[in-house]
Structure 1
């Protein structure tokens, strides 16, 4: 009896194998298999299902984009990200790679955007790259507001200009903030935050459904943050001493993603980091080797739901997070 059972199982396994090869390798439909083998269509269906249950079928997807998907999954696994968007590092020029990441982030933004949403934005080249790539197929009834104060002399990357550009692309409405990104002192900041127009803009930013921000480097001479620092504020040596690793909505954070003990952090006109983190969907965009450490610090702080970057930068971020 045992021998007969084994023979029956072998015959059934052979029949399952034959059907699976015809279906998945030869590309025949179940109806075609039934016709060719003389089995009924329900029997073929049961054999295919049983083949799956026995583990005979393993589906493997190969793609030239597989390395990018692997970096995305590793970034998600090592952070609080719900989504990572990694694009090819197609050039040695950072602005080219940033533009590619911006296009991918723009597509993602449109996939999440709904009429009635408020979007708060920071200044910077990363946000500019997203807006430049944005190509909506319809108008959106949305409001765009700054997440921080503005910067004199940097028109194309200033938060007010970018908010207006994003609203124009989406055919929505924009609010401007009439205050600098940094006050001269904490007392002056407190006064500016009570100005009605400033207070109303930041209240809208706190209620935003989506935040779109860049991530700044702080130590290199060409870093955006250093160019924003008011004259007379201590520079690179002081930033290194306090362990500054990156900038997010004009706040300095250290390598562990914690707010630095730095006087200028107390002078920011804008959302606090806690207020920023409370926005339901926070999207960060940044690219380049000098941005890897700042991005890693932002991820360690758990500030982002979504990150858009390029392949080379993503690999560097993973190395830092592993270390």
Structure 2
């Protein structure tokens, strides 16, 4: 280890110790400063670093009544199997960070099952944040499978790939969807679908015991467009067709009905079907995603949801 790495490791150790003293030891920042032999300001920075870099995980065990009421309202309105509502982080807060701890607890319950499970995953920031919060190791050798390709037109992989992060963290057998997110033509997409490894992954995805999905909006900030998978012209084509949201590349309208345009025939994904009986849980929050979440719930593309207070309140109001 070179000198710079040694210094960074020492700083990280110091931050972890400060976080432990604050959250577990119940010490004040003045007491931490005295214990570590640093200034109060440095103690404060160390505690902040411990949280921001994930060295300390904070979860609230108390059931906040306002969140419970929203969970009940969402369950009644959309006939959901699973609903968890996290406290909002306020204006400017990161919605993915708000939902991640709750989503992780839902996933950890699945991982704790003694019988082998097949877990299917989409992609995106919310799911990536969930993976970072998972602390409980699996009780068995579950399988995890991807529902969408992860290869961009330039050959690069998505920064928010979930299945590889999950496999690396939990050491589980994983089955990536080894196709481009979007092919040049529908014929090329069909060629990939005929490959035996792709068919095997599609079959495994169909048998999933539980599915976790991010929900993409279809405004001008649509992930499919922002991440370079479709052009602005193709986004406008989808918007004209009534698109409000997408689940692993399956684009749908306000009623949750899939939108069919030429670009959709080129996307390499597992085609989401409505009204599945096994849990299909969306992890999403934020004002820009409300229409997309509502459409997925209305069309029964999802039967579970993890979101935050503000989003839940908007969903329970009449559209």
**TM-score bin (small chain):** 0.7 to 0.9
- Count of residue pairs the alignment pairs up: 253
Match of 1:142 in 2: 142
Once the two structures are TM-superposed, the CA of residue 176 in structure 1 deviates from its matched residue by 2.4
Normalised by the length of structure 2, the TM-score is: 0.73
Match of 1:72 in 2: 71
Q: Which has the larger radius of gyration?
A: 1
Structure 2 unmatched ranges of 5 or more:
1-61
**Matches of 2:228 and 2:235 in 1, distance apart?**
11
Once the two structures are TM-superposed, the CA of residue 183 in structure 1 deviates from its matched residue by 2.1
Matches within 5 A, 1:1-323: 65-95=64-94, 97-113=95-111, 114=113, 115-152=115-152, 153=156, 155-158=158-161, 162-220=162-220, 222-228=221-227, 230=229, 234-274=233-273, 278=276, 280-319=278-317, 322-323=318-319
Do the aligned partners of 2:177 and 2:269 also contact (CA within 8 Å) in 1? no
Do the aligned partners of 1:286 and 1:308 also contact (CA within 8 Å) in 2? yes
CA, structure 1 residues 229+81, in 2 after alignment: closer, same or farther (shift >3 Å)? farther
**Cα-to-partner distance string for 1:202-233 (whole Å, 9 max, x where unaligned):** 2111111111110001113x321213564556
**Matches of 2:118 and 2:310 in 1, distance apart?**
32
Do the aligned partners of 2:215 and 2:247 also contact (CA within 8 Å) in 1? yes
Match of 2:54 in 1: none
Once the two structures are TM-superposed, the CA of residue 297 in structure 1 deviates from its matched residue by 0.4
Match of 2:9 in 1: none
**Matches of 2:166 and 2:258 in 1, distance apart?**
29
Structure 1 unmatched ranges of 5 or more:
1-62
Moved >3 Å (runs of 4+): 137-140, 228-233, 276-279
**Matches of 1:65 and 1:296 in 2, distance apart?**
23
**Matches of 1:78 and 1:248 in 2, distance apart?**
21
Match of 1:21 in 2: none
Once the two structures are TM-superposed, the CA of residue 308 in structure 1 deviates from its matched residue by 0.4
**Matches of 1:247 and 1:264 in 2, distance apart?**
13
**Matches of 1:189 and 1:235 in 2, distance apart?**
17
